[in-house]
Amino acid sequence: MNAVISQLPPLLIVIPLLGALAALLLGKWNRAFAYPISLAMIGFQFAVSLVLMESVMDGDVIHYYLGGWPPPLGIELVIDSFNSFVLVVILALALLTAVWAHKGADLDIVPEKKVSFFVVFQLLITGLCGMAVTGDLFNLYVFLEISSIAAYTLVAAGRNPRSLIAGFNYLILGSIAAGFIVIGIGYLYIATGTLNMGELAVMLPAHYGQTTVYAAFLFMMIGFSIKVAFFPLHLWLPDAYTEAPAAVTILIATATSKVTAYAMLRVIFSVFTLQYVTDSFPVTELILIIAAIAIIAGAVLAIAQDNLKRMLAYSSISQMGYIMFALGVANQAALAGGILHIMAHAVMKGCLFMVAGMIIYRTGFTAIRQLSGLSRRMPVACAAFAIAGASMIGVPPTIGFMSKYYLVLGAVEAGEYLAAAVLLAGSLLAAVYIWQVIEVMYFGDIHDEDLGGGLEAPASMMVPVIILAASCLLLGIFVELPLEVVGPAAAMLLGGG
């Protein structure tokens, strides 16, 4: 292992933290400084994550002891194939969102607040990076709270006063969830005397069967289920996604939800291990059933919505069911599908929310029925929506199809035919809610003529959207590339690594 690379994990967190401080101070002096610094920091993180992923792709694992203190005293940072992949995905999305937000933030953020907006924006991303790289449970909680506090602030930061209420409710439920997680962590510490994930995985088998460990597992499961908005604990999500500033919706729908899902998978597979979960009580069955309900219920609720952002929010609840579905099936194909879906959903939902934001930016329309004939005014944006929507439905050869294929394959291999059927039915329902929009966009008549044509958004918003729409197709066609990382990552999780 290269000496420089082994020093990168802490830099991933520390340099952007200092950068955020610099952006704040320089931004007080001159507002123009804040955005470029934030953008540069996210770009830096993205570059680091690429280097890290490249160096762990052949199965290596990077361990970094903060301050040179080995666990259990010190905090350990770990980079392996799973979290390096998640890092690359969320940082790519974060970078594109930041580029998009250059113009997109004007929509909801008053100019005086833009400095603090981008600083908090960057803190959120840094918190997520911390969650992804840490190998210590309490540290995970701290980073979870850093990113969550940033997220509460950002959700409430919009011009629209309703965003305040959405942000407050998000804060209340998010804090309850965090409290549950930290209680669970406490129980694990009582049982084993360590907080390091690797050590916990080694020491816990001696304590399997203890009530303390059960309690820890249940508290953490419930806490994470709220954080990822796993049906029926999703109540904060629709309002938060709908009322938040457009750029924030994109970021929390892509990066935050994905890292939280990562953390949940990590805790279940790397701390408790699959064996514990399946042997102690029928929790995988239960998760599979709830995931199936989530897929259907989320999609049905999405169909009923008229507000575009709210429709996409409910769709996220349904899609989160897909990832939990992988957890419920828990074999190689399904987990690979689930991890692939983390990427797929980030890419396509990012694209869809960006288009929704662009529509508001140009026309102020939020309701689906207002989008009538929009494809004539915003042809590129609508085409991107159609492609990402096709991926959401799971039409081949998009990335959404690939992850769905693996999930169904995993379910069939596990003999869960009914679950596989539910998943396929879910994609039909996705077709209904996506098609409602596409039908109106492409085949509706233009109602208010005075808006005129040629409403395409500025290039800095368009480029990220085009990149994401193209990724939906290209990542699907060349699915071998992500699978090179996803396959080993799934195998590692199943092996309890």
Partner 1 sequence: MIPGILPLLAITIPLAAAALILATGRHMNLRDSVTLGAAASMVIVVLAMLPEILAGGRIGITLIPLLPGGDLALRVDALGMIFGIVASVLWLLNSLYSIGYMRALNEHDQTRFYFCFAIAIAAAIGIAFSANLVTLYVFYEILTLITYPLVVHVGTPEAMQAGRKYLAYLLGGGICLLAATILTYTLTGTTEFIPGGFLAGAGAAALSLQVIFLLYLGGFVKAAWMPFHAWLPAAMVAPTPVSAFLHAVAVVTAGVFGVVRVAGWVYGVDLMADLNLGVLLAVIASFTIITASLFALAQDNLKRRLAYSTVAQLSYILLGVSMLSTAGLIGAVIHIPFHAFQKIALFFCAGAVIVGAGRENISDMKGIGRKMPVTAVMCAAAAAGICGLPPFCGLVSKVYLTIGAVQAGELALLGVIIVSAVLNVAYFFPIIHTMIIARPSDDRALDTVTEAPLIMLVPIILAVTASVAFFFFPATPFLDLAEIAISDMSGAGMP
Partner 2 sequence: MENLLVFIATRYIYIMTIILVMIGLYALIAKKNLVKKVIGLNIFQTAIFLFYISFSDVDGGTAPIYLPDGVSATYVNPLPHVLILTAIVVGLAITAVALAIVVRIYEEYQVTDEDGLQEVMKRQ
**Interacting residues with partner 2 (CB under 8 A):** 138, 141-142, 145-146, 149, 152-153, 156, 161-162, 164-165, 167-168, 171-172, 175-176, 179, 182-183, 186, 189-190
CB 280 within 8 A of CB 204: no
Pick one of partner 2, partner 1, none as the site partner of residue 443 (Cβ within 5 to 8 A by kind): partner 1
Span interacting with partner 1, options 9-17, 57-65, 93-101, 398-406, rule CB under 8 A: 398-406
Q: How far is CA 350 from CA 13, 50, 187, 360, 453, in A?
A: 24, 20, 37, 15, 25
Counting Cα atoms < 13 Å in the Cβ hemisphere of 397 gives: 9
Neighbours of 456 (CB within 10 A): 16
Pick one of partner 2, partner 1, none as the site partner of residue 424 (Cβ within 5 to 8 A by kind): partner 1
Pick one of partner 2, partner 1, none as the site partner of residue 165 (Cβ within 5 to 8 A by kind): partner 2
Q: Taking CB under 8 A as the rule, does residue 396 contact partner 1?
A: yes
* Beta strands 76-79 and 62-65, pairing class: antiparallel
Q: Which residue of 51, 395, 470, 474 would you call a contact of partner 1, by CB under 8 A? A: 395
Cβ-based nearer residue to partner 1, 201 or 425: 425
Q: Taking CB under 8 A as the rule, does residue 397 contact partner 1?
A: yes
Pick one of partner 1, partner 2, none as the site partner of residue 428 (Cβ within 5 to 8 A by kind): partner 1
CA 451 to chain CA centroid, nearest Å: 35
Span interacting with partner 1, options 48-56, 266-274, 390-398, 451-459, rule CB under 8 A: 390-398
Cβ-based nearer residue to partner 2, 138 or 208: 138
Question: SS3 of 63, please?
Answer: strand
The two three-digit tokens of residue 310, written as one number? 């709210």
Rounded Cα–Cα distance for residues 213 and 189 (Å): 10
Dihedral of the alpha carbons of 65, 70, 71, 74, in degrees to the nearest 10: -60
Site for partner 1 in 301-340 (CB under 8 A): 333
Pick one of partner 1, partner 2, none as the site partner of residue 413 (Cβ within 5 to 8 A by kind): partner 1
Site for partner 1 in 416-475 (CB under 8 A): 420-421, 424-425, 427-428, 431, 435, 439, 442-443, 445
Span interacting with partner 1, options 95-103, 133-141, 408-416, 459-467, rule CB under 8 A: 408-416
Task: State yes or no: cis peptide before 245, omega within 30 of 0.
Answer: no
Complete DSSP assignment for 304-340: T--BHHHHHHHHHHHHHHHHHHHHHH-SHHHHHHHHH
Complete DSSP assignment for 258-306: HHHHHHHHHIIIIIIHHHHHHHHSSHHHHHHHHHHHHHHHHHHHHHT--
Q: Taking CB under 8 A as the rule, does residue 225 contact partner 1?
A: no
Cβ-based nearer residue to partner 2, 175 or 363: 175
CB 308 within 8 A of CB 436: no
Pick one of partner 2, partner 1, none as the site partner of residue 311 (Cβ within 5 to 8 A by kind): none
Pick one of partner 1, partner 2, none as the site partner of residue 152 (Cβ within 5 to 8 A by kind): partner 2
CB of 268 to partner 1, least distance (A): 25
CB of 186 to partner 2, least distance (A): 6
Q: Using CB under 8 A as the criterion, what x/- string covers residues 119-158 for binding partner 1? A: ----------------------------------------
Complete DSSP assignment for 413-477: HTT-HHHHHHHHHHHHHHHHHHHHHHHHHHHSPP--GGG-S--PPPHHHHHHHHHHHHHHHHHHH
What is the distance in angstroms between the CA of the first residue and the CA of the last residue of the chain?
Answer: 20
Phi, psi (degrees; rounded to nearest 5) at 77: -105, 135
Cβ-based nearer residue to partner 2, 183 or 455: 183
CB of 279 to partner 1, least distance (A): 26
Q: Which residue of 408, 422, 465, 493 would you call a contact of partner 1, by CB under 8 A? A: 408
Cβ-based nearer residue to partner 1, 234 or 404: 404
CB of 176 to partner 2, least distance (A): 6
Phi, psi (degrees; rounded to nearest 5) at 232: -95, 25
Phi, psi (degrees; rounded to nearest 5) at 69: -90, 115
* Residues lying near partner 1 in the complex (CB under 8 A): 333, 390, 393, 395-397, 401-402, 405-406, 408-409, 412-413, 420-421, 424-425, 427-428, 431, 435, 439, 442-443, 445, 477-480
